[in-house]
Amino acid sequence: MKSEEKKLAETVGLESAKDSLKADPPGANLRAITNVSKNLVQNWNIPPFVVLFIANSLRESKEGRVLPWNYFKKLLYDVYEEKIRNAAEIYGSINSNYVPLEEYVLLYFLNKCKLRRLAEIKVIELLTSLKYYLAIWPRAKTFAQLAGFLRFGDMYTMETDTNNASTDIYLQDYYLTCFSLCHKERSALIESAEGNTYFLAEKEPALSGATLSWMTETERKEWTGLVKKHVKKGIEGTDKELIDVDVLLSLYLDQYLTKKKKQQGTILKQFNRAFNQNEGIFTTEEVGSVVQAAKLGKPPSPFSQYPGTVSRLRAFMYALTCDANSYEIKAKHFLAGCTRFGLDAPFPFIYARIYLFGTSTEVEKEVYTQAMQGGTGAIPGLLNEHCSVGRRKGRTDTESGNAAGTTKTGTGEIAPSLTASSAMFAQHFSILRELKAKCATYKLTIEQEEERKEAERVWDAFHEVQKVLELACQFLDFPIET
């Protein structure tokens, strides 16, 4: 190895020439990597907290080694899949700080290796292998870009976009959506001996329809022509048309970033027009009008939506306070706020909330139905969880010697105790509140179905109301045992 090549190899993170040759994929050589890598090194960027995590090993001069591609490519996908498996906890936590990919890489290796020392070494190997392979394989380059280790460059970034040096969490979310939908079709994926993973081209239109929902008819025709350029036939022992899955996913990212830049341009154009009229002083309504100019229509799913009032207000407040903290806002700061809270994102990232409170209308019926079926008391599930008393063997009831909560009067007659009476009234009030909620859902469903003409869903809502009424009738009698 020549001295200049050896120096670059050390910069890229290769342990030795021997390891480099072992890791070379077919058709690749160090000299070719050298030429491409020179253009990528200047955009290489490791977030400070990642450097902090591996600092101990760096002080000990631990050298990274390049992992064989057939192993490394599976490792990158495994990080994605593990993050998707833990999505419920990441997205559903009350502490709603998003876990970006670069942070999850550290969590992934901590979980796998159990010890920090081993995890540090594995992170260094990941960074070393990424920097080596990103000049060769789209999968490595995409991972490095998503995690913020490699910047996308200026072609997708507005001059006023202050987040170019950091990762885009909305882009990460979009990529994981595309990745997840693509890999649900396991039978459509074909692994090659050369290290590529191919996707059946016949499945691409349905996948693109779900992931490129913002496209117009003209844009879809252009997209179809672009995809055809990357379709291959007569490879991997099949006559079906195939496309490299990593190339397809990178094309999705290109389309997303291109559309995002257009969205930013639309917002800036509308902002400058309003700025000239208002001399930089904006109301919340005017901010809403500026953002509304970039509206993309209906989201692809009823369970997702674009940012709304809260996101606009947060972007507005950020623009007001991030610099001079004055009454006036500037275009650069406003666009930075829009980027921070996803107002320029082409793909919806706000998902239906499936909780026992604050649930969106579309999933409210299913959530409450499941909750109502899950309890063991007389008012199952939801009502028992929200009522402090119910038909249970509680301390107060057993103290009187009767688990049913009854007492004997002076004449020997059995009458309900105060605890039992309170429990009954509490349950009845819960039933009334639940019935009111079901009626509201029923009314909303009918209003929606007047357009959709789907009588089956209307009757489902009616049956839910009927179930609640039946439960109420069951509690008209006191729980008295003789």
pLDDT, tens digit, for every residue of 221-235? 999 999 999 999 888
Last residue of a domain, one of 133, 150, 167: 150
> Who wins on pLDDT, 323 or 83?
83
Q: Give mean pLDDT, residues 28-52.
A: 64
Last residue of a domain, one of 150, 176, 194: 150
Q: Would you say residue 80 lies in a domain?
A: yes
Q: Would you say residue 281 lies in a domain?
A: no
Residue 372 has pLDDT above 80, yes or no: no
Residue 210 has pLDDT above 50, yes or no: yes
Last residue of a domain, one of 134, 150, 166: 150
pLDDT value of position 278: 76
Q: Would you say residue 183 lies in a domain?
A: no
Q: Would you say residue 107 lies in a domain?
A: yes
Number of domains in the chain: 2
How much is the pTM?
Answer: 0.66
Among left, alpha and beta (phi > 0; psi -120 to 50; other), residue 174 is alpha
Could you give the C-alpha distances from 482 to 293, 393, 407, in angstroms and in order? 71, 17, 11
pLDDT confidence tier of residue 23, bands split at 50, 70 and 90: very low
Q: Would you say residue 466 lies in a domain?
A: yes
pLDDT confidence tier of residue 410, bands split at 50, 70 and 90: low
Q: Would you say residue 254 lies in a domain?
A: no
pLDDT value of position 388: 34
> Who wins on pLDDT, 441 or 215?
215
Q: Give mean pLDDT, residues 354-376.
A: 54
Note the pLDDT tens digit of each residue in 148-204.
888 776 444 444 444 444 578 999 999 999 999 998 878 889 988 888 999 999 999
Task: Give CB contacts under 8 A, 24+ apart, made by 229-238.
Answer: 231/201, 232/198, 235/192, 235/198, 236/190, 236/192, 236/198, 238/190
> Who wins on pLDDT, 296 or 179?
179
Q: Would you say residue 388 lies in a domain?
A: yes
Per-residue b or e along 272-299, where b marks 16 or more CB atoms closer than 10 Å to that residue's CB: eebbeeeeeebeeebbeebbeebeeeeb
pLDDT value of position 387: 33
pLDDT value of position 416: 58
Note the pLDDT tens digit of each residue in 70-119.
999 999 999 999 999 998 888 877 776 788 999 999 999 999 999 999 99
- State the sign of the Cα–Cα–Cα–Cα dihedral 34, 37, 41, 42: positive
Mean pLDDT of the chain: 75
58-67, 211-220, 335-344, 440-449, range with the lowest pLDDT: 440-449
DSSP one-letter string for 24-60 = PPTT--HHHHHHHHHHHGGGB---HHHHHHTHHHHHT
pLDDT value of position 78: 95
Q: Would you say residue 209 lies in a domain?
A: no
Residue with tokens 């490299």: 244
Note the pLDDT tens digit of each residue in 232-278.
988 877 888 999 999 999 999 999 999 999 999 999 999 988 888 87
* Structural domain boundaries enclosing 467: 373-474
